[in-house]
Amino acid sequence: MNTLLTLLKKNSRQYGMVIALAAAMILFGFLTNGVLFRPVNLTNLVLQNSYVLVLAVGMLLCILTGNVDLSVGSVVAFVGAVSAVMMVDSHMNSFLAIIASLLVGAAIGAWQGFWIAYVKVPAFIVTLAGMLIFRGLAQVILKGQSKGPFPKMFQLISSGYIPDPLGGFAVSETTKFHLLTVVIGLVLTGLFILSEIKKRKKQKEYKFDLLPGGIWMMKLVFISAVIMTFMLVFAVYRGLPNILVLLGILVAVYHFITSKTVQGRHIYALGGNMKAAKLSGIKTERVMFWVYTNMGIISALAGMVFAARLNVATPKAGQSFELDAIAACYIGGASTTGGIGTIIGAIVGGLFMGVLNNGMSIMGVSIDWQQAIKGFVLLAAVAFDLYSKARSSK
């Protein structure tokens, strides 16, 4: 029992947010009479929050260094405008336009990273300037008007679903069961169980504190059941959206980078103590430069996801996206001082905000109250972060 309590205290950030997300979903499921859990609503929940979740992946790396990027919303609008010019006006091939847009995002990130890493201008100032610059350039390119529609292939980024080569079968006149989604769920569940077994084996080798066997098994069963439940829900409604697959790949890649690579450890070290990191031989300027270059690429990707969902590029796109991405990271357990946070936590934080928005919208809560409640949630998350630090220091 003491071991369990110790583990829960050490991982209060990680488990606390997952429990809060589960509690929020159960609460809104009850308050909306089950509407929240309908397949079409869960699919819309993913589609409506996809761009925030994409941005949160990149924003977490900036926050790990002890900084933020205030320009991402404007970069979303700018890249959307650039992609519209290429595809709508110039009729460029969609695939080539996507590559070009990502390169534009990389150039923007590298430009901002240069000022932050090598000229030593504070990231807050550089990205605040970027927020103004790229919002203005988006207005210039679009001349204050929306531009669209986009080619069908481009729209599939946000509106398409993975095909089912297994055929599936009809469950009603309008619904077809998506077998490939179930197979993917079984594969993900198997990979999760194998990774947990491998992790526990390593913990035993290094004599770390372990969850009691019974509780560990309950954890495996619960998470496996959650994975399969959501896969079955998606299988009943058209299968997995393309954007969810893209997001899953992003999460897997960046989780691996931050937790398993030298570059990931350098980012955490930089946020933990920049002077100590530099004295230990880490090239802090290079790390900071690449973190912001990466943020530019991620912002460009989010810009295309949002433009494809709207099927139009608009100069007002991306407003407050930077605040949503930052809030998702902080709510998901990232530290305000840097050096602490996980990709999974940022995604959980983003989903928590998405569930709040979706649940309150179904209940008819006004936008004004939704904003106020999200503000209180963010404040509570940061206060909990400070409280946890104070306890651990004692």
Tens of pLDDT, residue by residue over 278-292, are 888 889 999 999 999
In this structure, what token pair is assigned to residue 137? 């350039």
What would the pLDDT profile of 178-206 be if each residue is shown by its tens digit?
Answer: 889 999 999 999 999 999 899 888 888 88
Quote the DSSP letter at residue 149. P
Rounded Cα–Cα distance for residues 329 and 53 (Å): 10
3-state secondary structure of 128: helix
Report pLDDT for 101: 95
Mean pLDDT in residue range 19-39: 85
Alpha helices for the chain (secondary structure H): 2-10, 12-31, 39-64, 72-84, 94-117, 123-142, 152-159, 179-205, 213-236, 242-260, 262-272, 274-279, 284-310, 321-331, 343-363, 367-393
**Would you say residue 18 has pLDDT above 80?**
no
What mean pLDDT is reported for the chain?
Answer: 87
119 in Cβ contact with 65 (< 8 Å)? no
pLDDT, tens digit, for every residue of 353-375? 888 888 888 888 888 888 888 88
Q: Does the pLDDT value for residue 11 go beyond 90?
A: no
User: SS3 of 161, please?
Assistant: strand
Q: How open is the CA angle 132-48-355, to the nearest 5 degrees?
A: 110
Q: How far apart are CA 144 and CA 136, in angstroms?
A: 10
Does residue 2 surpass a pLDDT of 60? no
What pLDDT, on the 0 to 100 scale, is given for residue 294? 95
In terms of pLDDT, which residue wins out, 117 or 9?
117
Instruction: Please report the pLDDT score of residue 190 as a whole number.
Output: 94
pLDDT band, very low/low/confident/very high, at 128 (cuts 50, 70, 90): very high
CATH code at 2-8+15-160+241-388: 1.10.3470
Angle at alpha carbon of residue 306, lines to 321 and 100, rounded to 5°: 105
Query: Could you tell me the pLDDT band of residue 389, with boundaries at 50, 70 and 90?
Result: low
Convert the pLDDT of each residue in 254-270 to its tens digit.
Answer: 999 998 899 999 999 99
**Structure tokens of 152?**
């069908």
pLDDT at 13: 59
Q: What does the pLDDT read at residue 22?
A: 83
